[in-house]
Amino acid sequence: MSFKNFLAGRWVDGDDILEVEDPATGETVAEAPLAGEVTLERALEAARKSAERGDLAAMVPQRRADLMRRIAQEIRSIAAEGAELLTRESGKRLSDARAEFDEAAAYFDYYGGMADKMEGKHIPLGPNYVDYTVLEPVGVSAQVVPWNFPVSLAARSLAPALATGNAVIVKSPELDPLGLTVLARALEAAEVPEGAVSILNGTGIDLGAKLVASSRIDQIVFTGSVPTGQAILRAAAENVTPSLMELGGKSAAIAFDDADLDTLLESVRWGIFFNAGQVCSAMSRLLVQRGLYNRAVEACAALANSLSVGHGLDEADHTPVISARQLGGIAQMVSAAIRDGAIAAAGGAPLARAGHFMAPTVLRDVRPDSRIALEEVFGPVLCMIPFDTEEEAIAIANGTEFGLVAGVFTHDLSRAHRVASKLRAGQVFVNEWFAGGIATPFGGIGKSGFGREKGVEALFNYVRTKNVAISLKR
Ligand code: NAD
């Protein structure tokens, strides 16, 4: 199978190639071409022309909605093939890879439903004026995608951008770019206008940095780490390019004494061990009230130890992290935390086997001000912290530079509302981590970034309001 770059409706080779590795075995899955400067220039040129012609913007909105739904269908038809490839390159479970393609299709259906409902408004200025607003597409949207959910996160931004009539250039993640070439095939099969979308593979330093620094883009949508987000914002400042930042997190769940332990454990299972913990909104800290703490530690450790370990294609519960580098960083942070006084109730080190496997890890008695409690690990590492009072729990939960998600586990509805209102986070889950879906707005506070993706709200990232005021005076 060829994994060329999708350049404005055509498939082109790269200037260089990159070996894509299976993180579960260390074997090479495929060679992916890296788009060079010339390819990027051609993509920028094509996107600008497409935006100026209004390939999508000038389309009758209902036809644009139809196109979006066709893309959704095409994604579903190639999902099985794409999922297998995504598992091989990212290490994730096959069913989770399949869910990514299904979610990608769902984004196109969801935003397809909105393509003909982006309405401006009439503003009353008295009898001598007519005033109305128009929601115009921003133009060329440059989107930089991370490796943890490359297909669904690309679709999360691509779908609302296309539904609102923009041209888009996607920079796929260099560690697992293959799934996005399959997504590009679905766009091609659905007959997206040539020039409206390019999906290019390249490294962040080369392709990503050049794309976001270009004066020919009208917007940057970035999902990734804080340091990269900061570098991109510096580049954006040069051209005053509007940017959307979806960055990292160090999210806390607060479990009160009255929380149901089984419900909590189900959330821990997915909250921190899903995708080997490589989730921006992972439950990386679990604060437990003193009366429940010891039982919760034991149960979380037993859960971690019960997970089967293996290849994603075999549907193992626990799969590798993306790279040797990622594993090294996780292991280093965990051993420093243990030196700092945390106790490994489960795991605590890489597993002795081929591939990049970190043992599912539960650290107890983590100091709230220690490095591991404040910085993103981006791996299967749960930090458990005891607390006594509601105020103390809120202070610990809010005590990092991040503010992506947070959770409350309690049967006391008043307390759930009260605590939710005080948590500094873009979204709060009550009694179920990851509650919500593509219809619920998602984004951060503080170093977790700004802007909201998902839901109807996300559409407004991809349009700008123009006001037209008409004097009727003669
Ligand atoms: P990363 O920042 O290393 O890379 C993200 C993307 O940016 C990659 O495509 C990379 O090639 C590119 N890039 C790197 N340097 C660049 C530069 N100077 N200019 C332009 N592009 C550049 O992040 P990652 O390791 O791929 O992803 C993990 C991080 O992403 C975590 O911090 C995680 O929390 C975050 N994340 C956030 C969300 C969210 O919605 N908030 C979702 C997923 C992941």
Backbone φ and ψ of 405, nearest 5°: -130, 170
Q: Which of 21, 74, 103, 246 is catalytic?
A: 246
Query: pLDDT tens across 330-387, in order?
Result: 999 999 999 999 999 999 999 999 999 999 999 999 999 999 999 999 999 999 999 9
The structural domain count of the chain equals 2
Which CATH number covers residue 167?
A: 3.40.605.10
Q: Which residue range(s) make up the domain with 412?
A: 251-438
Q: Residue 450, SS3? A: strand
C-alpha separations of 56 from 165, 345, 400, 419, 467 in Å:
5, 55, 42, 44, 21
User: Which of 247, 279, 307 finishes a domain?
Assistant: 247
Residue nearest atom 30 of ligand 1, based on CA coordinates: 224
141 shares its domain with 269: no
**DSSP per residue over 45-75, as a string?**
HHHHHHHHHTTTTTS-HHHHHHHHHHHHHHH
38 shares its domain with 80: yes
Q: Is residue 192 part of a domain?
A: yes
Active site residue 246: yes
109 shares its domain with 182: yes
For CA atoms 344, 283, 89, 198, the dihedral sign is: negative
Residue in the structure block whose two tokens are 């490994």: 344
Residues across the chain: 474
| Side chain identity, residue 48 | R
In the reported structure, the alpha carbon of residue 173 is separated from the centroid of ligand 1 by a whole-number distance in angstroms of: 8
Residues of the chain below pLDDT 70: 1
Distance separating alpha carbons of residues 348 and 345, to the nearest angstrom: 8
For ligand 1, residues with CB inside 6 Å are 144-148, 153, 171, 173-174, 203-205, 208-209, 212, 223-225, 228, 231-232, 246-249, 280, 376, 378, 404, 444, 449
Residues 6+ apart with CB under 8 A from 281: 249, 251, 404, 405, 427, 434, 442
242 shares its domain with 277: no
- What's the distance, CA 431 to chain centroid? 22
156 shares its domain with 260: no
Residue nearest atom 42 of ligand 1, based on CA coordinates: 280
Q: Is residue 84 part of a domain?
A: yes
233 shares its domain with 322: no
397 shares its domain with 378: yes
Distance separating alpha carbons of residues 275 and 265, to the nearest angstrom: 17
Distance separating alpha carbons of residues 232 and 342, to the nearest angstrom: 35
342 shares its domain with 208: no
281 shares its domain with 142: no
Distance separating alpha carbons of residues 460 and 18, to the nearest angstrom: 36
231 shares its domain with 285: no
Distance separating alpha carbons of residues 382 and 151, to the nearest angstrom: 26
305 shares its domain with 210: no
Q: Is residue 467 part of a domain?
A: no
For CA atoms 42, 45, 48, 50, the dihedral sign is: negative
Which residue among 144, 284, 326, 327 has the greatest number of ligand 1 atoms within 8 angstroms of its CB, and so is best to mutate?
Answer: 144
In the reported structure, the alpha carbon of residue 32 is separated from the centroid of ligand 1 by a whole-number distance in angstroms of: 19
Which CATH number covers residue 405?
A: 3.40.309.10
219 shares its domain with 268: no
